[in-house]
Structure 1
Amino acid sequence: MRPTPHLLGFPAFLAPSALLAADSASVQTSTAGALLQTFLALVVVLGILYAFLWLLRRYAPSQTGTQGVVKVVGGVMLGPREKVVVVEVGETWLLVGVAPGQVSALHTLPKPEGYIVSPTASPQAPFAGKLGELLARRKN
């Protein structure tokens, strides 16, 4: 049997350590390759998730359209889980108390003269308006 070329110049007692060094280099290379492959797979999965969420947001039916017969006029938080909401049904306003597992009608009154509820009215509408103003100022 002929000795391998990489062992020709080494004494016999150094040969096993030379073989171990070659094996450890290949292990380090395969570990780096595995880490790179895992990282690239993660990037692909995150890219697919981002594309799916973008498509869902773009083509899903939105809730900003008309609300039909029932419209939320406004509301106030009374506690961490309780709130009072004014709901318009036809020409009548209902003051409704909302708590976990319970909705109670508190008061009924006719719709005020000349009051128009916008179809996108929500408790966040004032915040959205302020944010829009600040962003417009920032662009200019």
Structure 2
Amino acid sequence: MPARTLLLLIALSPRLALAGEAAPDLAAGIGQMLFGLVVVLAVLVGVLWLLKRLGMSRGGAAGGLKVLGAAAVGARERVVMVQVADRVLVLGVAPGRVNALSEFDVSDLPPGDSTGAEGGTPSGGDFSARLQRLLERRQ
């Protein structure tokens, strides 16, 4: 029996030697793959930064549309105030649905309210105060 085991080890020794040499190649391959991943992610971050720097936004101000504010009124429902040209629209936004709640002229806005964060949404307290002032002014 020991002779068979010895013969089996001698027969498998070239394969065992190759398996031992494959381990450094595997580590090098994984290292190369991780390096490539880091390079791709760095290029992606660089391109996104460049687009932001050049001012290519997601289209928030496209066609004269400017979001003046928004407030959540439910889990997936919001009230949004949008300026389109010389009109201000108050919209109810829900999944798959947008309803016009009210419409104002830009001149109806209190001074300083028409300069909201472009494409951004101020905090809910600011928005609700602005909407309340607008409604009081209209009545």
Report the TM-score, using the length of structure 1 for normalisation.
Answer: 0.53
From 101, 111, 122, give the equivalent of 1:125.
122
Is 1:34 equivalent to 2:33 in the alignment? no
Whole-angstrom CA distance in 2 between matches of 1:45 and 1:94: 42
Q: Contact 2:67–2:121 (CA<8 Å) still a contact in 1?
A: no
The answer to whether the Cα contact below 8 Å between 1:64 and 1:120 also exists between their aligned partners in 2 is no
Which consecutive unaligned segments of at least 5 residues does structure 2 have? 1-5, 125-139
Distance 1:37 1:118, change over 3 A: same
Deviates more, 1:20-29 or 1:34-43: 20-29
> Cα 1:90–1:24, aligned 2, differ >3 Å: closer, same or farther?
closer
Q: Retained in 2: the 8 A contact 1:65–1:120?
A: no
Distance 1:39 1:95 in 2: 49
Secondary structure of the residue aligned to 1:95 is strand
Which has the higher mean CA deviation after the structures are superposed, 109-118 or 62-71? 62-71
Corresponding residue of 1:106: 101
Give structure 1 stretches of 5+ with no counterpart.
1-11, 128-140
The one of 53, 58, 65 aligned to 2:53: 58
Q: What's the % identity of the aligned pairs?
A: 31
Distance 1:65 1:122 in 2: 5
Partner of 1:7: none
1:25 to 2, 20, 23: 20
**In the alignment, does 2:77 pair up with 1:82?**
yes
1:69 Cα deviation from its structure 2 partner: 5.4
| Segments ≥4 residues shifted beyond 6 Å | 63-68
Bigger Cα Rg: 1
Pairs aligned (count): 116
TM-score by length of 2: 0.53
Which structure's residues are more often helix, by fraction? 2
- Aligned partner of residue 53 in structure 2, secondary structure: helix
